[in-house]
């Protein structure tokens, strides 16, 4: 399982990448995509939507089930990844390249885990 060091992680298995312009990208972790299986559909938020930490902002459908994607922090959607909307399997192929949404005005991410803490959380199951 890949856990890139430069990202932060939510206990609900989303990752956050801080960008130089102050926005953040949000996606699903490698662990999450493995647990979900082959993704066949994704319902992303719209630009302008508010994401609230701990609340569902998207959902993914796999061959196994439909699962919610939770906001790892709060912010406003300024961009969605159209490529992932068109081909959700991109998440299975490259979970850290296939981000879901970019948020502006991200709220404090103090509750997010660093790579080591997230890897430990996943190992402990």
Q: What does the pLDDT read at residue 109?
A: 74
Comparing CA positions, the residue from 11, 17, 1, 40 lying closest to residue 100 is 17
Q: What does the pLDDT read at residue 89?
A: 96
> How large a percentage of the chain has pLDDT more than 90?
92
Comparing CA positions, the residue from 50, 91, 56, 49 lying closest to residue 71 is 56
- C-alpha angle 37-43-45 in degrees, rounded to nearest 5: 135
Q: What does the pLDDT read at residue 78?
A: 98
Domains in the chain: boundaries: 8-124
For the stretch 5-62, pLDDT in tens is: 999 999 999 999 999 999 999 999 999 999 999 999 999 999 999 999 999 999 999 9
- Strand, helix or coil at 99? coil
Q: What is the mean pLDDT of residues 58-79?
A: 95
Residue range 8-124 in CATH 3.40.190.10: no
CB-CB contact of 36 with 62 (8 Å) = yes
Model's pTM, two decimal places? Answer: 0.95
Q: What does the pLDDT read at residue 26?
A: 98
Signed CA dihedral, 61, 13, 77, 91: sign only? negative
């Amino acid at each position: 399982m890949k856990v890139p060091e430069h990202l932060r992680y939510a206990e609900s298995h989303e990752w956050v990448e801080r960008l130089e312009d102050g926005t953040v990208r949000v996606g699903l972790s490698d662990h999450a995509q493995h647990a979900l299986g082959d993704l066949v559909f994704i319902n992303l938020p719209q630009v302008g939507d508010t994401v609230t930490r701990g609340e569902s902002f998207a959902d993914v459908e796999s061959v196994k089930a439909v699962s919610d994607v939770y906001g790892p922090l709060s912010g406003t959607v300024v961009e969605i990844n159209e490529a992932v909307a068109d081909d959700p399997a991109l998440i299975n192929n490259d979970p850290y390249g296939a981000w879901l949404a970019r948020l502006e005005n991200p709220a404090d991410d103090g509750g997010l885990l660093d790579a080591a803490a997230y890897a430990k959380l996943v190992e402990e199951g």
